[in-house]
Amino acid sequence: MFTLLKTEGRARRGTLTCAHGTAQTPAFMNVGTQAAIKGALSARDLEEIGCQIELSNTYHLHLRPGDALIKEMGGLHQFMGWQGPILTDSGGFQVFSLASMRKIKEEGVTFASHIDGRKIFMGPEESMQIQSNLGSDIAMAFDECVENPAPYDYVKQSCERTLRWLVRCKKEHDRLNQLPDTVNPQQMLFGINQGGVVPELRVWHMKQIAALDCDGYAIGGLAVGEPAETMYEIIDAVEPHMPKDKIRYLMGVGTPENILEGVARGIDLFDCVLPARNARHGKLYTWHGTLNIKNEKYKNDPRPIDPTCTCPACRNFSRAYLRHLFAAGEMLAMRLAVLHNLHFYNELMARIRQALEEDRFQEFYRVSVEELRQKL
């Protein structure tokens, strides 16, 4: 259940209460696609760096180790040792990302497994069944994320099909939550707004899915190659039609600047692989901009990545040491870098929440956008 506590302009401060705890919003969900954060982080690490909600992927966990096995092990929380809220993506994004390996029909999508090539069918009902087996706190509706650019007629057909799929998702989700052996009978369902970069289709679709009274709503299909300004224009078009009493989630976004812009436009939840991926390549975030720790100038720098940061990497190690680890190809380099970047994102959200509580978000937004754009 989402509770809106206060607003400043369109920015919102709230709470999201799930079966496994309450998250303070706005929040960034840390992405553990296969029930682990790439960079050798465990659930214990997530607790230390301030993660509130963990995100895992339905498609990948269905393939390996299998959702039936995870259900047998007591659900995803028990399996990975994370006791906070979990959101599972529906597998719909794989419809987009595995474009050369899938076939879309009204019934659902046939994939060729990226692991061994075997054929897999997933439709709305199958996606709901897998997510029910995982026992996540939030299940995402099965949808199609269209390519950008895509022909108007195809985007329209896809929107209409995604709406029909949501109706099927909701029916199956309601049925599964009533079963006596359901892992998490309090699992919530979020609908997903689609429509490419066509504002009128986005608005039409949002109005349709809002009438279905889901537990929350996401804007999907953005951050797939369109300019940032186009993404902001789509949010501006859709947001007025999103229910005010339901949580809003911008899927797959993004940079710190994207998050600040999203919060300013009324978004509550974010997720992205970017901080962990950038960290594994040595790109690190600080409150004065980004730095590439692999640069020669850091080889004898005794300072932490960010002197104001309290993450495990900054509390204990120097830039020089981290640069050495990357140069030597040590796994510890990725682990420390990922810990830092995810801590930074979680801290960014904490500072956003504090600014909203103190009625100074607009000032925080103005100053932070400029600072975070810098390159050190």
* CATH class of the domain defined by 2-272: alpha beta
271 catalytically annotated: yes
* pLDDT of the residue at 71: 98
Q: What is the pTM of this model?
A: 0.97
What tens digit of pLDDT does each residue of 37-54 get?
999 999 999 999 999 999
What tens digit of pLDDT does each residue of 1-49 get?
999 999 999 999 999 999 999 999 999 999 999 999 999 999 999 999 9
Q: Which of 45, 89, 137, 215 is catalytic?
A: 89
In terms of pLDDT, which residue wins out, 182 or 115? 182
CA distance 345 to 351: 10
Q: Which of 45, 215, 271, 306 is catalytic?
A: 271
Evaluate if residue 342 carries a pLDDT over 90.
yes
Average pLDDT of the residues in 345-369 = 97
Domains of the chain, by residue range, sit at: 2-272, 279-372
What tens digit of pLDDT does each residue of 286-303 get?
999 999 999 999 999 999
Contact criterion met (CB below 8 Å) for 248 and 268: yes
In terms of pLDDT, which residue wins out, 240 or 149? 240
Residues 6+ apart with CB under 8 A from 368: 256, 260, 351
CA angle 237, 364, 272 (to 5 degrees): 55
Q: Determine if the peptide bond prior to 65 is cis (ω within 30°).
A: yes
SS3 104: strand
137 catalytically annotated: no
Average pLDDT of the residues in 325-351 = 98
